[in-house]
Amino acid sequence: MDWLNAVVQGTLLGGLYALFAAGLSLIFGVMRLVNIAHGDLIVLAAYLALTTMTLLGLSPLLALIVVVPVMAGFGYILQRGILNRTMGEDILPPLLVTFGLSVILQNTLLVTYTADPQKLQAGALETASLSVGELTVGVLPLIVFATAVFIIGALQWMFYRTALGRAFRATSDRQDVAQLMGLNRAHVFGLAMALSLAVTTVAGVFLGIRTSFDPAIGGSRLIFGFEAVIIGGLGNLWGTLAGGVILGVAQALGGQINPGFQILAGHIVFLVVLALRPRGLFPKMEG
């Protein structure tokens, strides 16, 4: 029963990792951009939710109503004002710029909020649980997992059933042809980053409810997101969910063997997948 419980808890944890990874997968799929600052943007969203809660007296989930548009707008401005200027055949300039953005965000958060750990208080939601036979499952992890499935499903639907999704796919496949057909590449990329940061905001708020956070934890969240994306397959949104679940289950089973083995177990699974399937378990099909 302990092992079954570890699998269930790891699966639910994978929902959070999938939310970390969904924004990364989205922007990589649309514009082949690897965002080194992604983890710090997750933490920024958590801090903005904390500020919104303090100023307006809202719960963390209601704070999303304010923080999601703010982060989406920031993403659009960031892409149009800075990142689009670095996009091209060479992948190094955007990597360097997002690394610099990571450093700036960490230090800005450190100065503004100090290094003291913070947490988003969600009241009874944090401790509520359901009994399923001999298993006890937290309500919050269930909500996080359901949200991850809903968001990834909505993104998948948007990609293949809407005009915006067609614009994303056209720009991703052939930027030159998309430009000739009247699509504004800079605007499309800006919308992709805005959508990515909207998803990132949801991940940041759930992170803040689930555990404490400080300005320095962005790097580890970036690693978990990257690992989920690469395990699932670059650019494959449902693969990202699968990658998050695999990573979460690996960590839970590792922790069941030895608490000190929890994080390492996830890294080992990532390295094994990378060695055997360099393009991930469910790579995006080209053409």
Quickly list DSSP for 123-142. GGGGT-EEEETTEEEEHHHH
Residue 177 is predicted with a pLDDT of 64
Residue 165 is predicted with a pLDDT of 86
Can you state the percent helix, strand and coil of the chain, rounding each to 5?
A: 75, 5, 20
Q: Where are the alpha helices (DSSP H) in 115-261?
A: 139-161, 163-173, 175-180, 185-210, 218-232, 237-257
Q: Give the chain's domain count.
A: 1
Say if CB 44 and CB 271 are below 8 A apart: no
Residue 287 is predicted with a pLDDT of 41
Model pLDDT for residues 4-23, shown as the tens digit of each residue: 888 999 999 999 999 999 98
Is 286 a domain residue? no
Q: How far apart are CA 166 and CA 275, in angstroms?
A: 33
CATH number for position 164 = 1.10.3470
- Share the mean pLDDT of the chain: 89
To the nearest whole percent, how much of the chain has pLDDT over 90?
62
Longest Cα–Cα distance in the chain: 61
Q: How far apart are CA 110 and CA 116, in angstroms?
A: 9
Q: Confidence class of residue 285 from pLDDT cuts 50, 70 and 90?
A: low
Q: How far apart are CA 240 and CA 246, in angstroms?
A: 10
Is 56 a domain residue? yes
Lowest mean pLDDT among 24-28, 107-111, 214-218, 220-224: 24-28
Say if CB 235 and CB 21 are below 8 A apart: no
Is 256 a domain residue? yes
Is 283 a domain residue? no
Residue 110 is predicted with a pLDDT of 95
Q: How many residues does the chain have?
A: 287
Is 214 a domain residue? yes
Domain ranges, residue 169: 2-276
Is 281 a domain residue? no
Is 107 a domain residue? yes
The DSSP element (H or E) to which 46 belongs, if any, is helix 38-56
Is 284 a domain residue? no
Model pLDDT for residues 55-87, shown as the tens digit of each residue: 999 999 999 999 999 999 999 999 999 998 888
The CA-atom distances, in angstroms, between 263 and each of 138, 214, 251, 270 are 21, 19, 6, 11
Model pLDDT for residues 130-166, shown as the tens digit of each residue: 887 778 888 999 999 999 999 999 999 998 899 888 8
Higher per-residue pLDDT: 39 or 168: 39
Residue 271 has pLDDT above 80, yes or no: yes
Residue 18 is predicted with a pLDDT of 94
Residue 170 is predicted with a pLDDT of 81
Say if CB 99 and CB 36 are below 8 A apart: yes
Residue 180 is predicted with a pLDDT of 59
Eight-state DSSP code of residue 133: T
Q: How far apart are CA 150 and CA 32, in angstroms?
A: 24
Residue 28 is predicted with a pLDDT of 85
Burial degree of 54 (CB within 10 A; 0-12, 13-18, 19+):
exposed
Lowest mean pLDDT among 13-22, 50-59, 180-189: 180-189
| 74 alpha-carbon distance from chain centroid | 16
Residue 275 has pLDDT above 70, yes or no: yes
Say if CB 107 and CB 214 are below 8 A apart: no
Residue 230 has pLDDT above 50, yes or no: yes
Residue 201 has pLDDT above 90, yes or no: yes
